[in-house]
Amino acid sequence: MTAALDAYWMPFTANRHFKQAPRLLAKAEGMHYWTADGRRILDGVAGLWCVNAGHSRPEITAAVAKQIEVMDYAPPFQIGHPAAFELAEKVAAIAPPGLNRVFFTNSGSESVDTALKIALAYHRLRGDGARTRIIGRERGYHGVGFGGISVGGMVANRKMWSASMLPGVDHLPHTHDLARNAFSRGVPSHGAELANELERLVALHDASTIAAVIVEPIAGSTGVLLPPKGYLQKLRELCTKHGILLIFDEVITGFGRTGSAFGAQEFGVTPDIITCAKGLTNGSVPMGAVIVKKEIYDAFMTGPEGAIELFHGYTYSCHPTACAAGIATLDIYEKEGIFQRVKDIAPYWENAVHSLKGLPGVIDIRNYGLVAALEYELIAGAPGKRGFDTFLKAFDAGILVRAAGDITALSPPLIIEKNQIDQLIDTLGKVLKSQ
Ligand code: PXG
Ligand code: PLP
């Protein structure tokens, strides 16, 4: 028997609609969920872009169980525990060269807020305290903290709180351009010049007032928006030219999704700060991290040795169970060559998703690594309806996909096999044909 549904206020959910016909998951293993009534569902979105090594991995379960038995909790301020240092070293070892100092949080949203605070404090500590502006991007998603929604670019996440945004934030234009790039395979050819919009913002505000630019290498939450060829490189060049820190929000692109450890390596562009979460613990225990260049860390290590250098942290920063999960997760990625696996299977994935071209309402298909999206023609007067209906019908048909407005996003666990790709895409195809 399921408990009453009234008390729980569900996040990012149509609560009343859901509670009329609840969709309840009860068990997960490998590539699958099972519903409370025993139906098996193929997971096409790695939970929520996070279960990269597949569900309920025994190695992670054992590590977490052992840790919680030995030591349930350890305070993170002015005292430490070995697993935190071990995990930080492991994260640094797979991060791009030069990014080797790691601050732990409990989510992507906290990682973003932390990164923004570090960027602002960094400039101030170096005597460049007029750099207070942060530049985000339209259609960006950086979590739901006040910092994250300020630099983010999703109107529904912003409009209720518009008077409470961080001051001085501005936005680059998004790079989504179906007129020129529809049905691209991999990164689209057109749009690198949009990075030059940063020059316009510099001309407007002056570089001396800008602390950082934050972008997702691939925007996930708004429907898989890929960086045009050369765009991230150009952004990097302009940030360097103007002394602006470049932050890559890799909450989704981190830990193998693109075929490299981070999008930074995949796209050959090294930011100054990376935010991550999700795949860090394979989604098993909440955890996020901010990875910074050593120079940034060093800028803080200047006052008296007995003084706290950064007045920031969370009760659950580097929680022992999260650290244990993170260590076990990174071990799996390494042992099983998970990131390389993505590169190997990506061409098959690309062909499979693009086989849906021509189905009713489909106006774009795009892909990279083990991510893809299908975009649908808007139904007049009902934005988001086609995306949500597709999600509901797909769930009934035994696959979990993600609706982002009128876009279906796909991001399966990175252990997906070819026959499971076939099943996912065939089922989605049938759903689209039936609409
Ligand atoms: N940055 C990025 C790039 C993200 O994708 C966050 C920050 C926030 O992380 P937390 O752990 O605070 O949720 C995310 C999270 C979706 C969807 O619909 C994606 C996310 C969260 C919720 C929904 O695809 N990504
Ligand atoms: N609110 C109160 C009253 C607290 O005492 C604390 C932490 O001690 C917080 C919020 C912040 O919680 P956390 O450290 O889990 O983010």
Return the pLDDT at 173.
98
pLDDT at 276 over 70: yes
Ligand 1, atom 24, lies closest to the CA of: 221
User: Would you state the pLDDT for residue 3?
Assistant: 82
Per-residue pLDDT of 160-183, as tens digits, reads 999 999 999 999 999 999 999 999
Q: Closest Cα partner for 330 from 70, 82, 92?
A: 92
Per-residue pLDDT tens digits for 349-375: 999 999 999 999 999 999 999 999 999
pLDDT tens figures, 232-254:
999 999 999 999 999 999 999 99
| Cα separation, 120 vs 72, whole angstroms | 34
Q: Does any ligand 1 atom lie closer than 6 A to the CB of residue 141?
A: yes
Using a CB cutoff of 8 Å and minimum separation of 24, what contacts does 377-382 make? 377/406, 378/406, 379/406
Beta strand pairing status for 399-400 and 40-43?
parallel
From the CA of 149, which ligand is nearest?
A: 1
CA 281/CA 261 separation, integer angstroms: 14
For ligand 1, atom 10, the nearest C-alpha belongs to 108
Q: Given the CA of residue 315, which atom of ligand 2 is nearest to it?
A: 14
User: Per-residue pLDDT averaged across 372-396, rounded?
Assistant: 96
pLDDT band at residue 2, thresholds of 50, 70 and 90?
A: low
Task: Ligand 2 pocket test: pick from 111, 117, 315, 318 the residue with the most ligand atoms within 8 Å of its Cβ.
Answer: 315
Strand ranges in 350-422 using DSSP code E only, listed in sequence order? 362-368, 371-376, 399-400, 402-403, 407-410
Residue 128 has pLDDT above 90, yes or no: yes
- State mean pLDDT over 291-306: 97
Residue nearest to atom 9 of ligand 1 (CA): 108
Q: What is the Å distance from ligand 2's center to 69 Cα?
A: 25
CATH tag for 15-53+337-434 (out of 3.40.50.2300, 3.90.1150.10, 3.40.50.150, 3.40.50.1100): 3.90.1150.10
Query: Which ligand lies nearest the alpha carbon of 151?
Result: 1
Q: Is 199 exposed, middle or buried (0-12, 13-18, 19+ CB in 10 A)?
A: middle
CA nearest ligand 2 atom 5, residue: 315
With a 6 Å cutoff on the Cβ, whether 73 touches ligand 2 is no
Q: What is the CA radius of gyration of the chain?
A: 21
Does the 62-335 domain belong in CATH 3.40.640.10? yes
Mean pLDDT, the chain, integer: 97
**What separation in Å is there between the alpha carbon of 311 and the centre of ligand 2?**
14
Give residue 114's pLDDT: 98
The minimum-distance atom of ligand 1 relative to the CA of 275 is: 1
Nearest to 416 by CA among 345, 352, 318, 332: 345
Task: Among 221, 253, 262, say which to mutate for ligand 1: greatest number of ligand atoms within 8 Å of CB.
Answer: 221
pLDDT at 435: 84
- pLDDT (tens digit, 9 = 90+) per residue, 60-105? 999 999 999 999 999 999 999 999 999 999 999 999 999 999 999 9
3-class DSSP state of 137 = strand
Q: What is the mean pLDDT of residues 393-400?
A: 98
Which residue ranges make up each domain of the chain? Answer: 15-53+337-434, 62-335
Q: For residue 1, is pLDDT > 70?
A: no
Does the beta carbon of 315 lie inside 6 Å of ligand 2?
Answer: yes
